[in-house]
Structure 1
Amino acid sequence: MTDFTKTRALMARGAEFLGTDYAILCGAMSWVSERGLVSAISNAGGFGVIACGAMTPDLLDTEIAETKKLTSKPFGVNLITMHPQLFDLIEICRKHDVGHVVLAGGIPPKGSVEAIKGEGGEGAKVICFAPTLALAKKLLRSGADALVIEGMEAGGHIGPVSTSVLAQEMLPELGEEHLIFVAGGIGRGDAIAGYLEMGACGVQLGTRFACATESIAHPDFKKAFFRAKARDAEASVQVDPRLPVIPVRALKNKGTEEFTAKQLEVAELLNREEVEMGEAQLQIEHYWAGALRRAVIEGDVENGSLMAGQSVGMLKAEEPVADIMAELMTQSEEALSRR
């Protein structure tokens, strides 16, 4: 079975929007979603997304240029809304004619969506994350071209509601008229088929691709994923209600315990009025950036951050991206054919 007729029919709107064979996005994972993995996913028919994270404009400029050398297929760039140089990063995307920009990390600041889309809409398409139905409607009114609804089963920064509940709440109301991608805990094509039947135009997966052969993640990082069970991917705890800390799902280790200590440290700085709230939030984000690098690049799986979704228990070995994509599409097609 190679034509995937039923699956492609259900994801046709999403694939047309992305300019891809399959409406399967790879979630942007800091330090993991770089030129190698992004280009491999796009070359395999999916949609790779560069994780800009804390990159400077110059670093993003280089990353986009290097990715273009590895693929002629469409790919996107994920920008964090709280990045202090957000508008400079948007200009870098415009310089390279990036077709799709994914805004993550909060409500897009004033003027950012307009800057991405450009005058007359000749710029990039905008994809936003929507944790609630009310916010989803607001983002669509504000110019978002597509939405990702991501459940708490996902890795990294998460919301409080499960994927299945978000899908039941949002897809019947928005899925027919708008482009809605579903994310969070998806590890098999059977689940993809189910969300497509509910009205999603496509899906986003991160954890499933994190340990692909083309992923630059350290071998020890990958081994930690292969050993893990779903229950090992735990959400972080907010220790001070004043700190607007978004929960993060990662494999439990010393690093997750150190994050609790980091929150207490920043809370004490707030008590002494030594930092503003915005700076406090940035300190938390910088902690995660450093902890991620220790795990992904250096292989420090004890003290680094092993951000993983609950689908991590389905990962057993390294596989090429093309094989992962083919397996997901085959599983989806077989599930739809059984209906």
Structure 2
Amino acid sequence: MPDTATPAAPSALTDPARRAEARARLDHLWGRGTRFLGSEYALLAGAMSWVSERNLVSAISNAGGFGVLACGAMEPARLAEEIAATQALTTRPFGVNLITMHPQLDELVRVCLDAGITHVVLAGGIPSGPVIRAIKEGGAKVIAFAPALVLAKRLMRLGVDALVIEGSEAGGHVGPVSLTVLAQEILPHVHDVPVFVAGGLGRGDAILSYLEQGASGAQLGTRFAASRESIAHENFKKAFIRANARDAVTSVQLDERFPVIPVRGLNNAGTRRFVQHQAETLRRFQSGELTKEAAQLDIEHFWAGALRRAVVDGDVENGSVMAGQSVGMITGEQPVGEIIKQLVDQAIDALIRQDERARYG
């Protein structure tokens, strides 16, 4: 991250000419990302189930970012309805996030293409070659997640148009490696497609540091989840505002025979009960009361509907309050436009400070 310990002169930070110069440098740094997305800023919105719907997505795109609808478990007809509703709220481009394991993935792809969606984000696993080809032949661009360099290279061979490298600091389902390490592993070696960084990002100067390492833009979710335009329950937003970074923890696995997909969220009564539930399920398995398959299903079903309970119903004690570690930077409910402006201003301030150090030491 750029060193901001030495403050620039106030006149430098407020000088319109200096800010315009720094903004031009920022536009150059993430130019590949903005050209790819078709947005003013290379700020890609993370797709969050129950949160990334028409209101938030259109607000992000209207503010110059790139909103992404979260399809999640939607049926094709429901997705078509949500896309049309979003298009009624913005004329700017936005994307749709599809889960590769969805049983109707092919139909969902067709819905996106028929609606003129320009970018499809494939998540939840390595997408197949035929799905990638269908999207590209339909005229849309494909974005996929690369949790390691070897997978980044494989995805590029399959034809994806851009990559997201998401560190374990992110909210929701996460991998084991931090963004700091992923960036060092992947950015120096991937040049053929734009790469967007994600995970724990909450400030513009941090985003700038990754742009200077070769990233084309950044993906953020947690900060937008607590925005004014987010339809999340007030209890959900207040939990974000109260939380510190250390409160966003990954789910615990008690026994390697019964794997638990790591999910980062705010520690609450539900997460503590999940540990107890695993222990009780293990006891029932060891006593012969449950088969291994039944025990695994019992563990997996614990969180069924838990995200909806938190986001929609506001039960932040028993629901799953998915949040990244950047949650500690949220101090209040802000409009999306203000969040994006703040991120851009922080990056510009950092560039001006760099210039001041270069001039005066």
Output the TM-score relative to the length of structure 1.
0.91
Percent of residue pairs bearing the same amino acid type: 61
1:147 is paired with a residue whose SS is strand
C-alpha distance after superposition, 1:222-254 (max 9, x if no partner): 111110000000011233434554300000012
Q: Give the Cα–Cα distance (whole angstroms) in 2 for the partners of residues 106 and 270 of structure 1.
A: 33
Q: State the number of aligned residues.
A: 331
What are the ranges of 5 or more consecutive residues in structure 1 without an aligned counterpart? Answer: none
> Does structure 1 residue 143 correspond to structure 2 residue 165?
no
Amino acid in the other structure paired with 1:85: Q
Q: Give the Cα–Cα distance (whole angstroms) in 2 for the partners of residues 289 and 194 of structure 1.
A: 38
C-alpha distance after superposition, 1:48-72 (max 9, x if no partner): 0001111111111111010000000
The RMSD of aligned alpha carbons is 2.3
Q: Which residue of 2 aligns with 1:215?
A: 230
Q: Give the Cα–Cα distance (whole angstroms) in 2 for the partners of residues 299 and 19 of structure 1.
A: 35
Q: How far 1:208 moved relative to its partner? A: 1.0
Q: Which residue of 1 aligns with 2:184?
A: 168
Q: How far 1:334 moved relative to its partner? A: 1.1
C-alpha distance after superposition, 1:296-329 (max 9, x if no partner): 1110011111100001000011111011100100
Contact 1:11 1:23 in 2 (8 A): yes
Q: Which residue of 1 aligns with 2:63?
A: 44
Match of 2:124 among 91, 97, 105: 105
Which stretch of structure 1 is more off in the superposition, 188-197 or 265-274?
265-274
Contact 2:251 2:260 in 1 (8 A): no
Amino acid in the other structure paired with 2:185: E
What are the ranges of 5 or more consecutive residues in structure 2 without an aligned counterpart? Answer: 1-15, 355-361
1:70 is paired with a residue whose SS is coil
1:203 is paired with a residue whose SS is strand
Amino acid in the other structure paired with 2:240: F
The 3 A distance-change label for structure 1 pair 51 and 13 is same
The 3 A distance-change label for structure 1 pair 288 and 140 is farther
Q: Which residue of 2 aligns with 1:6?
A: 25
Q: How far 1:293 moved relative to its partner? A: 0.6
Q: Give the Cα–Cα distance (whole angstroms) in 1 for the partners of residues 214 and 237 of structure 2.
A: 33
Q: Which residue of 1 aligns with 2:269?
A: 254
Q: Which residue of 2 aligns with 1:235?
A: 250
Q: Which residue of 2 aligns with 1:304?
A: 319
> Does structure 1 residue 224 correspond to structure 2 residue 239?
yes
Q: How far 1:85 moved relative to its partner? A: 1.3
Q: Give the Cα–Cα distance (whole angstroms) in 2 for the partners of residues 319 and 115 of structure 1.
A: 39
Q: How far 1:177 moved relative to its partner? A: 3.1
Q: How far 1:275 moved relative to its partner? A: 6.1
Structure 1 runs of 4+ with >6 Å offset: none
Q: Give the Cα–Cα distance (whole angstroms) in 2 for the partners of residues 26 and 270 of structure 1.
A: 45
Q: Which residue of 1 aligns with 2:12?
A: none
The 3 A distance-change label for structure 1 pair 302 and 26 is same
Q: Give the Cα–Cα distance (whole angstroms) in 1 for the partners of residues 259 and 269 of structure 2.
A: 22
Q: Give the Cα–Cα distance (whole angstroms) in 1 for the partners of residues 39 and 195 of structure 2.
A: 16
In our comparison, the structure showing a higher alpha carbon Rg is 2
The 3 A distance-change label for structure 1 pair 8 and 300 is same
Q: Which residue of 1 aligns with 2:96?
A: 77
